[in-house]
Amino acid sequence: MPAWEAWRLTQVEPADVRDLFGKMRTAGATTSSIKKLRAALSAMFATAVEDGKIRSNPVQGVRIPASKVAEPEACSPKALTRSELRLLLDAMPSEWRLFFEFLSQTGLRISETVGLQWKHLDLGENPHVQVREQFYKGERKGLKSHSGRRDVPLSPGLRERLLEQRRDNFREDAPVFASRAGTELLPANVYRRVLAPAAISLGHFVEIEGSDGEPRKRSTVSFHTFRHTCASMLFDAGRNVKQVSTWLGHADPSFTLRTYIHLIDEGLGGPLCIDVPVEGTSTVTQDGVPSCV
């Protein structure tokens, strides 16, 4: 950290840690990011205490300053409704709509999407995308787990638009979604230049205090929002948890259930008609199961 790079461990006091966290909060840092830094600092100083280099851990007991604005709920992933998704796509430059339609229809992670090459797309009679690798932090890498390796079906409309795009820049090892230079996209640039402005223009934002003390707007729509939106549409279409888990590349269906339980209808639905038939109160279907009247 530049502010402490010339300091010795013994020079850092709890007040310095408190001041650091306060400046991070003022600059718009989230509670999660401050917690991660606190954990790293605490582990470092705890080791120094164990080694006899310092007497006490200056991070211990220092609280994270409260946020001045409500932060997006991390426990309930936000999913866009179909109308919200359409409005958001319409607010984007036309050349970017296919990219974000692809994200919302396939549910791929952003690293998997920017890592796609044309050899990973089968646009024949049974169109699908073969998720085999990812492009993460400037490097092409394998997937995190075996469950991430999957084939995700593509709709006929999406297939046609991808075919049209492939006519202009086809090469098997070329990125499906490329920068103007023909290289893999940098998600941070796409977020800053395309996604955030479009989302903020439609009111999808929270206000935070900037480094200059002035309020600024931060988009509440991220790349992961499109993944959540895909999950929502899958459940709405009647897919079960196992199917959605496989579609998204989750290792454990129970994780899918815990993450998206709020998207599943909480009502009880209609009655389960398995009553013993009573004359005059029910009818029997062709398969012999009584139905309600």
Task: Decide: 152 and 247 in contact? Cβ < 8 Å.
Answer: yes
| One domain for residues 88 and 203 | yes
Task: Decide: 32 and 73 in contact? Cβ < 8 Å.
Answer: no
Q: Is residue 256, in this structure, part of any structural domain at all?
A: no
| One domain for residues 26 and 139 | no
The 3-state DSSP class for residue 215 equals: strand
Q: Is residue 188, in this structure, part of any structural domain at all?
A: yes
Task: Decide: 20 and 64 in contact? Cβ < 8 Å.
Answer: no
Q: Is residue 290, in this structure, part of any structural domain at all?
A: no
Report pLDDT digits (tens) over 146-180: 889 999 999 999 999 999 999 876 788 999 999 99
- The residue among 129, 123, 112 whose CA lies nearest residue 159 is 123
Rounded distance between C-alpha atoms, residue 151 and residue 214, angstroms: 47
Could you tell me the two tokens for 32? 């999660």
**Residue 163 structural domain:** 82-217
- The residue among 133, 126, 86, 78 whose CA lies nearest residue 105 is 86
Average pLDDT, the chain: 85
How many domains does the chain fold into? 2
Mean pLDDT of 213-235: 91
| Angle made by CA atoms 166, 169, 172, in degrees to the nearest 5 | 75
Q: Which residues pair with 178 in a beta bridge?
A: 184
| One domain for residues 130 and 189 | yes
- The residue among 97, 103, 117 whose CA lies nearest residue 182 is 117
Q: Is residue 61, in this structure, part of any structural domain at all?
A: no
| One domain for residues 128 and 197 | yes
| One domain for residues 38 and 104 | no
Q: Is residue 269, in this structure, part of any structural domain at all?
A: no
Domain-ending residue, one of 217, 235, 266: 217
Share of the chain above pLDDT 90, in %: 50
Mean pLDDT of 271-276: 54
Rounded distance between C-alpha atoms, residue 38 and residue 24, angstroms: 12
Share of the chain above pLDDT 70, in %: 85
Q: What distances in angstroms separate CA 57 from CA 41, 211, 244, one per listed residue?
A: 9, 28, 45
Domain-ending residue, one of 158, 192, 217: 217
Of the segments 49-53, 194-198, 202-206, 250-254, which one has the largest average pLDDT value? 194-198
| One domain for residues 86 and 42 | no
Evaluate if residue 197 carries a pLDDT over 90.
Answer: yes
Model's pTM, two decimal places? 0.67
